[in-house]
Chains A and B, each alone.
Chain A
């Protein structure tokens, strides 16, 4: 399996600000994903981070709110823009490895005041 590192692990932010979350993988992977886990709920896919092209967003998520970069096959960022208390969640990146299994980073716990 790969080592997936997310930064920051947690943050407390002011309303109206933006935060960029980084995801680093120790091997090249084709597919990377960003998920959100709201308090007490399961995970919801935000978008697929595509290397060299725009991310593919799921219904209910838009690029202006959650811009994503994927400059190479080992790194991606997710920005949460113009944050409000409703954005308080755990944000997780994942990658697909051999046999189609998805593996997750430890997540970024975000609280908005």
Chain B
């Protein structure tokens, strides 16, 4: 059974800092990995999708990496801003044909960026 762990559970940084959020998963047979953002009382916003054959994806100030063999992913946020404050969730999809497109989520990292 796939298990996803995110470290740290919470992080508070001053504005302008670069930061790294960590995600690890136990079963390396994944189809893809997604990073999401969840604002309080809101749904999930997809940030980045990394296919199992890729090593990283970038979108603006965000960069996500994937090391499938070691079961790890990182989300790098450059020059953090107060608007980045949210909970960040990592989720992996099992191989199609075995578990369809079921996402297994980590518990999330609650990020606070202080002005």
The interface of chain A, by Cβ under 8 A from chain B, is 1, 6, 31, 33, 41-45, 48, 58, 92, 94, 96, 99-107, 109
In the complex, A102→B102 CA distance in Å? 10
Please determine whether B101 and A105 come into contact, CB atoms closer than 8 angstroms.
Answer: no
CB B104 to nearest CB in A, in angstroms, measures 8
Q: Which residue of A43, A105, A109 contacts B105 across the interface (Cβ within 8 Å)?
A: A43
For chain B, give the interface size range.
20 to 34
The DSSP consensus for interface residues of chain B is: strand
Q: Which residues of B contact A92 (CB under 8 A)?
A: 43-44
In the complex, A105→B4 CA distance in Å? 22
Task: Fill in one digit per residue for B94-108: 1 if any A CB lies within 8 Å of its CB, else 0.
Answer: 000000111101111
Please determine whether A100 and B31 come into contact, CB atoms closer than 8 angstroms.
Answer: yes
Please determine whether B51 and A102 come into contact, CB atoms closer than 8 angstroms.
Answer: no
Please determine whether A101 and B44 come into contact, CB atoms closer than 8 angstroms.
Answer: no
Please determine whether A42 and B106 come into contact, CB atoms closer than 8 angstroms.
Answer: yes
- Asked whether any CB of chain A lies closer than 8 Å to the CB of B46, the reply is yes
Q: Which residue of A1, A58, A102, A109 contacts B101 across the interface (Cβ within 8 Å)?
A: A102
In the complex, A96→B102 CA distance in Å? 10
Q: Given A31-B100, A105-B43: A100 and B105 within 8 A (CB)?
A: no
Q: Which residues of B contact A105 (CB under 8 A)?
A: 43
Please determine whether A42 and B89 come into contact, CB atoms closer than 8 angstroms.
Answer: yes
In the complex, A44→B3 CA distance in Å? 12
CB A41 to nearest CB in B, in angstroms, measures 7
In the complex, A44→B107 CA distance in Å? 11
Please determine whether B103 and A45 come into contact, CB atoms closer than 8 angstroms.
Answer: yes
Which residue of the partner chain B has the closest CB to A42?
B105
11 further A-B pairs in the complex, CB-CB below 8 A; given A101-B34, A102-B91, A106-B43 = A42-B106, A43-B91, A43-B105, A48-B102, A58-B102, A100-B31, A100-B51, A100-B101, A102-B103, A105-B43, A106-B42
Of residues B34, B36, B105, which shows the largest number of chain A Cβ atoms within 10 Å of its Cβ? B105
Task: Fill in one digit per residue for B5-44: 1 if any A CB lies within 8 Å of its CB, else 0.
Answer: 0000000000000000000000000011010100001111
